[in-house]
A and B are shown apart, each in its own frame.
Chain A
């Protein structure tokens, strides 16, 4: 009873969800080596900022989405300066003790997890204290497309388009601009990059800001389709981590590929079995298999194949 259009739409839906959930996390993890367990709460921040911009300030939805993303990016920069880089304590430390007291959390996976987990708890509870147990939602725009007995929300299709646009934009920023070159240089070898004149501290700050902004954008985009309450970030975190693990070290390409693969697995299985539960199980089984057979993720495999080819041509 598989309907081709249903399957296609559900694939696009899953693809958009996985890609948007993972984008910000992938940027921050891939480039800075920081595992941001507050990723879901950054999405919450974006969703709340967007919703409040509409309901309290009366901004039109698209403007509110931009505001929501930018506010989350700004918040991310503050978090980077204070918690991740330890800039503020350092500054205090230098004044009073005369030396660096606090090491930044870059490339300290476990430490960054603990710090950002703490941050996520603080953010959820703060949202609850400030805004209560829920806030009013804004409705989903655009209506639906009808085909035969079926119909699908147009907005969910727009989300898939936005997901692709986000990937293209990220690809452009990180591979075609001077900033992107600096980011990649910092990521490959921080000390050399600094010796060559790259302000690595600033690069990290901006990267975290971009990652946070992407999380905020995800929140902004999903604000009209989700129920607004302080724990809404939870539903993104697992998909985001699975996507990053399956995607592997190459940030943009990895997210795109894992979004495609996981979206296809989840949509196909859901459709064949008529059960969301099985779709979800299939997605997690795919992640387990990927971890077992592709320890470097999909892009890790691509790189390994490329390296092997390189060796083969060098040998000639």
Chain B
């Protein structure tokens, strides 16, 4: 048994060495100018990027990965972080949470990354957060999500359900009327988002006339469409998720269901308006902080983010999705924080981040989603620039409204202040709002 143990350990060591060697090869070709052989590791800032490039979330993860690489390349070309080059360490976790856990351990313990970007889904975040907490690792979670994570070393840079739904629901209530039908994916994200729709409906004087949770594996929506027709809502709030659920939009169009639909998930992440044949996405209103079509100078203008992205990755049929922008600007926020702290030591960088970092100021570049955005030091969330984006019959997307929406749940309702008290909790709306129950 002990002999077996030794040989296995030798095997693992050898395999690990081979993997690290392979990775070094990868990052020096892929990382865009990050040559690692001439510089000792103390001279570089080591950023770990774990984003799905295969498996279920490849569609959403690939742009995230690419946007991180773009930001790193730009920062390196511009002289690095405080004169130090960024060395990206990346691997494909293949949309597999167990692989995420293994790679997170490896990146923290063996690669000693100075900061970690990882994960698309909330399930992934919750799978690796215990490892991150145990190691007090500085961690950026960059997907739009249900909200409520108050965690000392986690920075949730994407907008929350309250921000996304809070931008689109009031608009639809105003335009179309008070009766809402909810359809949502049947897992933690969908359930919590539906709770938020109920809270926001209450705040905006609207009623829920129907509600349905749909398993992620479902791709036939005949009965859902009939149920919506029977309830005759003024608009639908859709928090459907993933490739199977994308079929809903094609099917509701071919069934002739033309009620307006508000969403926090469609178009900005899986770019359904590019992939599906028109008019599947006609009359869909997305509440998002970013889409390729956001009409800011730093995004859609000449040499804006979209131009630079496609210059580096000219693949056809690609899309700079919501999370890509979040990966992109959060890398710049990290740069700001390190330069403010004057070190990559994680407690100091976290302290700098908590002092409140802004983009779009004199020092830092403008965020592609719009002018200035601020990191709220107390909650580790971002006061985002939020847009309501509408797709028409030909799937042209236009911006209808925009406004700054701060993260409100943790700051106002829960009272999370990570500068005062270290926590590692995820709060849910059910604990604070009667109407969410």
Contacts and interface: CB of A to CB of B under 8 A. Distances in A.
Interface of A: 1, 3, 6, 9-10, 13-14, 17, 125, 128, 132-140, 142-144, 146, 149-156, 224-232, 234-235, 238, 267, 270-271, 274-277, 279-280
A307 to B, nearest CB: 38
Interface string B231-242: 010000000000
Question: What are the 5 closest A-B residue pairs judged by CB atoms, nearest first?
Answer: A139-B277, A227-B246, A140-B254, A144-B256, A153-B254
Given A13-B222, A135-B317, A232-B243, A225 B256 contact: no
Interface stretch (B13-21, B54-62, B361-369, B410-418): B54-62
B188 interface: no
Contact of B256 (A135, A138, A146): A146
A153 B251 contact: yes
B312 interface: no
B272 interface: yes
Given A10-B226, A135-B275, A146-B256, 18 more contacts: A133-B58, A137-B250, A139-B276, A139-B280, A140-B250, A140-B254, A149-B230, A150-B229, A151-B256, A153-B255, A155-B254, A156-B254, A225-B247, A225-B254, A227-B272, A231-B243, A271-B223, A274-B223
Nearest to A142: B254
Contacts of B213: 275, 277
Contact of B317 (A125, A136, A142, A232): A136
A55 B332 CA distance: 39
Contacts of B318: 132
Contacts of A231: 56, 243
B288 to A, nearest CB: 19
Contacts of B272: 227
A9 to B, nearest CB: 7
27 contacts: A1-B230, A6-B226, A9-B222, A133-B62, A134-B317, A135-B275, A137-B276, A139-B280, A140-B250, A146-B256, A149-B229, A151-B255, A151-B257, A152-B226, A153-B222, A156-B254, A156-B255, A224-B277, A225-B247, A227-B243, A227-B247, A229-B59, A231-B56, A235-B218, A275-B213, A276-B220, A276-B221
A13 B220 contact: yes
B64 to A, nearest CB: 12
Nearest to B223: A270
B247 A276 contact: no
A131 to B, nearest CB: 9
Given A140-B250, A143-B254, A152-B222, A227 B227 contact: no
Contact of B277 (A132, A137, A156): A137
B224 A138 contact: no
Interface string B261-303: 0000000000010111110100000000000000000000000
B255 A227 contact: no
A136 B277 contact: yes
A149 B225 CA distance: 11
Contacts of B315: 132
Nearest to A151: B256
B58 to A, nearest CB: 5
Contacts of A234: 217
A139 B243 contact: no
Contacts of B229: 149-151
B209 to A, nearest CB: 12
Nearest to A280: B215
B293 to A, nearest CB: 18
Nearest to A236: B219
B393 to A, nearest CB: 12
A155 B247 CA distance: 14
A146 B258 CA distance: 13
B230 A276 contact: no
Contacts of A150: 226, 229-230
B223 A6 contact: yes
Contacts of B227: 274
A156 B247 CA distance: 13
A138 B255 contact: no
B212 A275 contact: yes
A229 B212 contact: no
Contacts of B212: 274-276
A267 B254 CA distance: 20
Interface centre among B217, B223, B226 (most CB of A within 10 A): B223
A52 B408 CA distance: 46
A137 B59 CA distance: 15
A156 B222 contact: yes
Contacts of A230: 58
Contacts of A10: 222-223, 226
A138 B277 contact: yes
B191 to A, nearest CB: 12
B38 to A, nearest CB: 34
Interface centre among B221, B224, B230 (most CB of A within 10 A): B230
B214 interface: yes
B244 interface: yes
Interface in B169-213: 186, 212-213
A276 B253 contact: no
Given A1-B230, A270-B223, A276 B59 contact: no
A301 B411 CA distance: 64
B215 A152 contact: no
A103 B315 CA distance: 44
Given A225-B247, A226-B247, A235-B219, A137 B275 contact: yes
Contacts of A144: 254-256
